[in-house]
Amino acid sequence: MPRPTPQSTVRVVTLRIDDRDLSAREDETLIEVCREHQIPIPSLCQLDGLSVWGGCRLCMVEIAGQGRLVAACSTRVAEGMVVQTDTERLRHYRRTIVELLFAERNHVCAVCVSNGHCELQTLAQRCGVDHVRLPYRQVPYPVDSSHEMFRLDHNRCILCTRCVRVCDEIEGAHTWDIMGRGSDCRVITDLARPWGESDTCTRCGKCVQVCPTGALVKQGTSAGEMVKDQHFLPILARRRQAR
Partner 1 sequence: MSTPAPKLTVATAWLDGCSGCHMSFLDLDERLMTLVEQVEIVYSPLVDAKTLPAQVDVGILEGSISSEDDLEKARLFRERCAVLISLGDCAVTGNVPAMRNHFKLSEVLDRAYRENVTLQPQIPTRAVPALLTPVKPVHGVVAVDVFIPGCPPSAETIWSILSDVIAGRVPDVSAVTRFGA
Nearer of residues 30 and 215 to partner 1, judged by Cβ: 215
Q: Is the dihedral of CA 33, 31, 156, 138 positive or negative?
A: positive
Nearest CA-CA partner of 79 in 25, 36, 18, 15: 15
Looking at 14-22, 112-120, 142-150, 220-228, which segment touches partner 1 (CB under 8 A)? 112-120
To partner 1, the closest distance from the beta carbon of 177 in angstroms equals: 26
Amino acid at 24: A
Map residue 104 onto helix, strand or coil: helix
Choice from 82, 100, 132, 170 touching partner 1 (CB under 8 A): 132
Nearer of residues 16 and 95 to partner 1, judged by Cβ: 95
Query: Within 169-228, which residues bind partner 1 (CB under 8 A)?
Result: none
Nearer of residues 124 and 173 to partner 1, judged by Cβ: 124
Angle at 70 between CA 164 and CA 46, to 5 degrees: 25
Q: Are 126 and 18 within 8 A, CB to CB?
A: no
To partner 1, the closest distance from the beta carbon of 76 in angstroms equals: 33
Mask of contacts with partner 1, 75-104, x by CB under 8 A? ---------------------------x--
Phi, psi dihedrals of residue 136, rounded to the nearest 5°: -70, 140
